[in-house]
Amino acid sequence: MLRKLLFTAALLASSVATAAPASKFLHEAIQGDNSESRLGQLIAARGSGAAVRSFGRTLTRDHGMARVQASALARRMGLPVPTSMMPEARAEYSKLGRLHGRAFDREVRRYMIHDHREDIAKFEAQARNGDRRTAALARQQLPTLRKHLGIAEALPT
């Protein structure tokens, strides 16, 4: 009986998403915006389809604006503002640099669906459980992340 209760408690604990501390969340959010802006520029320039190129411009514009908001909050909180990309995004940038045509477009679609699903989960957790300031930022940016996921899912395969 005790083993069953411990197992159930462990299962519940692992399924509850917890928010990241404010400094970690902001650091990663800004790095994510840096990443999406850079990737967006590459996608806008190299996409073989008009929808992919348009998505690249959307990423660049929207994540540029999100970066401004998150950076302002980080400065108000006395936190540094990163200028680097996320490591996974740097690897994806290199991968995309070697692809052309439909292979490029398919990889953009695959990566952006995966990336935005992860981001949405993190931002939802922060919106629910984060510090007041970062929770508000997460709630403000969630609609844009969901819009990007929808666009990525609608891209041709």
In a domain, 41, yes or no: yes
Please report whether residue 6 resides in a domain. Answer: no
Does some domain include residue 57?
yes
Q: How many domains does the chain have?
A: 1
Structural domain includes residue 19: no
Percentage helix, strand, coil, to 5, in the chain? 80, 0, 20
Average pLDDT of the chain, as a whole number? 91
Any domain includes 20: no
Q: Is residue 8 part of a domain?
A: no
Whether residue 4 lies inside any domain: the answer is no
What pLDDT shows up at residue 152?
A: 98
Domain assignment of residue 18, yes or no? no
Confidence (pTM)? 0.86
CB 61 within 8 A of CB 41: no
CB 125 within 8 A of CB 71: no
d(CA 113, CA 152): 6
114-155, pLDDT tens digit by residue? 999 999 999 999 999 999 999 999 999 999 999 999 999 999
User: Domain range for residue 128?
Assistant: 26-154
**CATH number assigned to the domain comprising residue 108:** 1.20.1260.10
